[in-house]
């Protein structure tokens, strides 16, 4: 523990060493982050104010959008400010906090996506009992479990990292504090810690993926007995969720389900799952869902009339 406190800060190398490239990236990422906040906030407000979006599916969607805002906010503001800074520094405790919240909200999102798959299974395979099974109390408990699961997952990760000695160097070849770059800087044998971290993240990913896979296998088997119109509506709803699952899980598996080694492409993959995915989620759900589009339109009309008056 004493060795950890020998370092008071870490320095990021960032996305690029070219100042002109960084200025262009500043504008791009500022716009992307603004779009993430506005897009996901729009979904949260639309679900909260629309009576037509009172089903559990939209409750979970609203929760997911809120988590996306928090998830991207754990890395994006620091990235944007560092793009204009010559010295990209972060305090030791700030680094640990960033690492904790990144995996906290990432873990919540993983659990929420699993819960949403279960919700679709109940809605399609047990439609007559849907309202009794997925009542408001059950939905609230499931969201609470997702938050608790994310907390336990992140706490386990941060405790494993925090016991490592960091005695120099303090330069992180990344734009935020993450597990693999920190393992690379530790002045100790990190094989066992790296193995435990991969096991922790791997267990969570595998369990979530198995539940997701099982849900959609059962759904697809059930849809064979449905009418063509019923299959179309069900596949449209499930298609949005499957797309979001792939966008979230694929980069995470690439980063965290391999041995403790960093690759040059890691930064680009990290940009995808910390910035691009939170931006695409509201777009995917709104464009593929007519009810969400109608509710957004009504909200826009009400807001416009209120401003005119």
Residue with tokens 């009794």: 132
pLDDT tens series, the chain, 309 aa: 444 446 778 999 888 888 899 999 999 999 999 999 998 998 898 888 887 788 888 899 899 999 999 999 999 999 999 999 889 999 988 999 999 999 999 999 989 988 988 888 888 888 888 889 999 999 999 999 999 999 999 998 888 888 888 877 888 888 999 888 888 888 878 778 877 877 777 677 777 777 877 887 888 787 777 767 666 766 666 777 777 777 777 777 777 666 555 566 778 888 888 898 888 887 777 766 677 777 777 777 777 777 666
Tell me the H-state helices in the chain: 19-49, 56-73, 76-82, 92-125, 130-133, 136-162, 179-185, 191-223, 228-256, 266-271, 277-287, 290-308
Residue 297 structure tokens: 């339109």
Full-prediction pTM beyond 0.85?
Answer: yes
Q: Cα(278)–Cα(254) distance, rounded to whole angstroms?
A: 18
Residue 132 structure tokens: 């009794």
Predicted local confidence at residue 1, as pLDDT: 43
Residue 193: partners with Cβ closer than 8 Å, 6 or more residues away? 160, 161, 163, 164, 183, 186
Domains of the chain: residue spans and CATH: 4-308 (1.20.1070.10)
Q: Cα(38)–Cα(32) distance, rounded to whole angstroms?
A: 10
Spatial strand order in the sheet of 89-91: 89-91, 9-12, 171-172
Residue 163 structure tokens: 């016991």
């Amino acid at each position: 523990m004493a060795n950890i406190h020998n370092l008071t800060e870490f320095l990021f190398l960032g996305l690029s060493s070219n100042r002109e490239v960084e200025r262009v990236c500043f504008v791009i990422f500022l716009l992307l982050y603004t779009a993430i906040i506005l897009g996901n906030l729009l979904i949260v407000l639309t679900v909260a104010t629309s009576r037509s979006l009172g089903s559990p599916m939209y409750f979970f969607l609203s929760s997911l959008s809120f988590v996306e805002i928090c998830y991207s906010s754990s890395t994006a503001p620091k990235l944007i400010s560092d793009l204009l800074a010559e010295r990209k520094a972060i305090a030791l405790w700030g680094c640990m906090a960033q690492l904790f919240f990144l995996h906290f909200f990432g873990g919540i999102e993983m659990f929420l996506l699993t819960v949403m798959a279960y919700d679709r299974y109940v809605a399609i395979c047990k439609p007559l009992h849907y309202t009794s099974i997925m009542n408001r109390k059950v939905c609230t408990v499931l969201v609470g479990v997702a938050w608790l699961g994310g907390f336990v997952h992140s706490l386990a990760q941060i405790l494993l990292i925090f016991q490592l000695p960091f005695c120099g160097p303090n330069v992180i070849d990344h734009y935020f504090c993450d597990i693999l770059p920190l393992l690379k800087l530790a002045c100790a044998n990190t094989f066992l810690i790296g193995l435990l971290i991969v096991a922790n993240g791997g267990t969570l990913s595998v369990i979530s993926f198995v539940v997701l896979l099982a849900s959609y296998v059962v759904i697809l088997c059930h849809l064979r007995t449905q009418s063509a119109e019923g299959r179309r509506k069900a596949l449209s709803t499930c298609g949005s969720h499957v797309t979001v699952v792939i966008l979230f899980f694929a980069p995470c598996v690439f980063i965290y389900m391999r041995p403790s080694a960093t690759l040059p492409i890691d930064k680009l993959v990290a940009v995808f799952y910390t910035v691009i995915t939170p931006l695409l989620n509201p777009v995917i759900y709104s464009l593929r869902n007519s009810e969400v589009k109608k509710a957004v339109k009504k909200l826009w009309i009400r807001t416009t009339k209120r401003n005119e008056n």
